[in-house]
Structure formats: structure tokens, C-alpha cells
Amino acid sequence: MEKKQELYSGKAKSVFATDNDDFVVLSFRDDTSAFDGEKVEQLSRKGEINNKFNAFIMQYLADNGVPTHFESLINDTESVVKNMAMIPVECVVRNVATGSLVRRLGVEDGMELNPPVFEFFLKNDALHDPMVNEFHIETFGWAKAGDVSKMKDLTFKVNTLLKQLFADAGMVLVDYKLEFGLFNGEVYLGDEFSPDGCRLWDAQTRKKLDKDRFRQGLGGVIEAYEEVARRIGVPL
Ligand code: TYD
């Protein structure tokens, strides 16, 4: 497959056309951003780690019945994925309270959430990704009711699978964000799953092993991503 012109460049990834309309190349850059793009830095090797991490997780999810856009790794920082129409809604599941949930509701940081909490956010940096519900999504036409329900079911299925995967490697999957898209009218998991879009804590020490290290200026960001990858067996 031949890589063609750039179609879109986001905060951490770029998308390129290919000679086949059904597929695009997802290119993972070293750019790391937080606070709706206000804090941006280059972290050497992040693109490569996230590309390989994402490939591993997407393959694991696909092997366990979750439809994903992932097709194949093509080099250290790039993968081929299905060319989907993305749904502009982020699906967040929280197993432990932290971050914006704590700021919003004043609940205790670190509290275990049983059952887990599910939230939708509109993907819109200018509006700071406001929280929305199923009515907003349907009324404003961001997704059809049936597809919203599929996104929710798949996000919980991912929770069951990944909570266990990370627990087996001595980590707590605190929370994460997923994005979905439509390909031939069907819902598939898209975007990426990497330590950029989830929170992972060491089960014993509670050490943060995710992008909170960058958000909070704790240092050792890439070392933490590499450790997570190593623990779950991602070939780097
Ligand atoms: P949340 O606690 O709402 O965000 P904040 O980073 O402001 O504290 O985030 C919950 C999880 O979802 C966390 O792992 C980060 C991820 N997430 C993103 O990666 N991007 C987003 O735009 C949002 C809303 C969440």
C-alpha cells in the first residue's frame, strides 16, 4: 500500500491517505499535549512506543471480539487503519475516581468506583470537551441511538478485557477514553489506546505510569510508558 498526502494532523498523530480509499496511515508523533493543547512538548520515542503499544492492545481487543480499525504495523511509528467516519464523542470509563471527576463532584481521589462510571464528552478543544449525554448526541446528530448504545457496550467490554490485562501485570486501569467511528455503516473502535489516553497506577505503590506524569510535571514520562509496555509484553 502506498502512502499519499496528509489528510489531517491532530495533537499527537497525523493521518495520511493511501492508494486504497478504505485505508489510511496513522502516524504517531513525539508531540505530547495536555490541557486542550496548552502544554505541548516533544518526548523522544513516544511516537514509536505509542504506535507499538496501540497495535498490541488493538490486536488483543480484536482477538477478543472487539471490532477495531487496526490493520497492521508498517514501521516503528506508523500503522494502517480503516478509513472511518469518526464519531466526535469520547467515551470515558472510570474504575477509580481521579482527575476531572474529583474536581467536578468533590468525591475522594482514589475512591474505587463500583459499578464503574461511564461518561460522554464532546470532542471539541475550543469548548474544552464538555460533558454531554445520549440526548445531546442524538438530537445534534453526532451519532444514531443504536450506535451510541454499541459504543457504550464496546467501551464496557474493553474495560473487562483491559482491567484484567493490566491487573495481571500489576497495574490498576484507573480510567480511559475511547473514540469510535463508522466503516461501512458499522461501529469500530478507532483512534488509539495508549498511556496518553488512560490512567494506569502501579497496583502496589500507586505510582502513576501514564500521561499524568506529563500533565503534573513529574518527569520520567517515557520511562513509565516503556515500563507499562514491558510489563504487558509489547515488543518494543
Ligand atoms: P478526565 O479525568 O475527565 O480528564 P482530566 O485529564 O481533565 O483529569 O479523564 C478521564 C480519562 O480519559 C483520563 O485517562 C484521560 C482520558 N481523556 C483523554 O485522554 N482525553 C480527553 O479529551 C478526555 C476528556 C479524557
SS3 75: strand
pLDDT band at 115 (very low <50, low <70, confident <90, very high): very high
Strands in 70-75's sheet, in edge-to-edge order, are 3-9, 13-18, 23-28, 78-82, 70-75
Nearest CA to ligand 1 atom 1: 100
Q: What is the pLDDT of residue 81?
A: 98
Pick the CATH number of 3-82 from 3.65.10.10, 3.30.110.60, 1.20.120.520, 3.30.200.20: 3.30.200.20
Q: What is the mean pLDDT of residues 31-41?
A: 95
Nearest CA to ligand 1 atom 6: 99
For the chain, give every residue range classified as CATH 3.30.470.20.
85-220
Upstream peptide bond of 195 is cis (omega within 30 degrees of 0):
no
Q: For the domain bounded by 85-220, which CATH number is listed?
A: 3.30.470.20
Is residue 175 in contact with ligand 1, taking CB distance under 6 Å? Answer: yes
Is residue 100 in contact with ligand 1, taking CB distance under 6 Å? Answer: yes
CB 92 within 8 A of CB 179: no
Residue 14: other Cβ atoms inside 10 A: 17
SS3 103: helix
The reply to whether the predicted model has a pTM over 0.95 is yes
Is residue 195 in contact with ligand 1, taking CB distance under 6 Å? Answer: no
Is residue 161 in contact with ligand 1, taking CB distance under 6 Å? Answer: no
